[in-house]
Amino acid sequence: MSRVTVVLWAVVALLVVLLAGYLWGAAVRWARASELDRSRVQARVNQARADVLQARVDLFEVNFGRASQHVESAKHGKRAAALANAPRCPEDCARAAL
């Protein structure tokens, strides 16, 4: 094999390795973005749960104004979580947001 052929094969091998590395990195980046979205939705759901629990405490303390505010905040958090999750489950989340 001539020197030019060896150099061309080395360049082709280098390009294949670079392409494989790029594709591998893109797959990992996509997986991390998906996990980040999932954790944001979970944080919204947890905040809605906390608001409902705080509303229960306010009702126990006979503070209906604050209880109403916490219930409304929980509704908003539930809707936000359902809408953020909508691309993954359009039918279920549409019903959950109501």
Q: State the pTM of this model.
A: 0.55
Pick 80 or 95 by higher pLDDT. Answer: 80
Residue with tokens 């229960």: 56
pLDDT at 16 over 90: yes
Residues 6 or more apart whose Cβ sits within 8 Å of residue 97: 78, 79, 82, 83, 86
- Select from 90, 98, 82 the least CA-distant residue to 40: 82
pLDDT at 83 over 60: yes
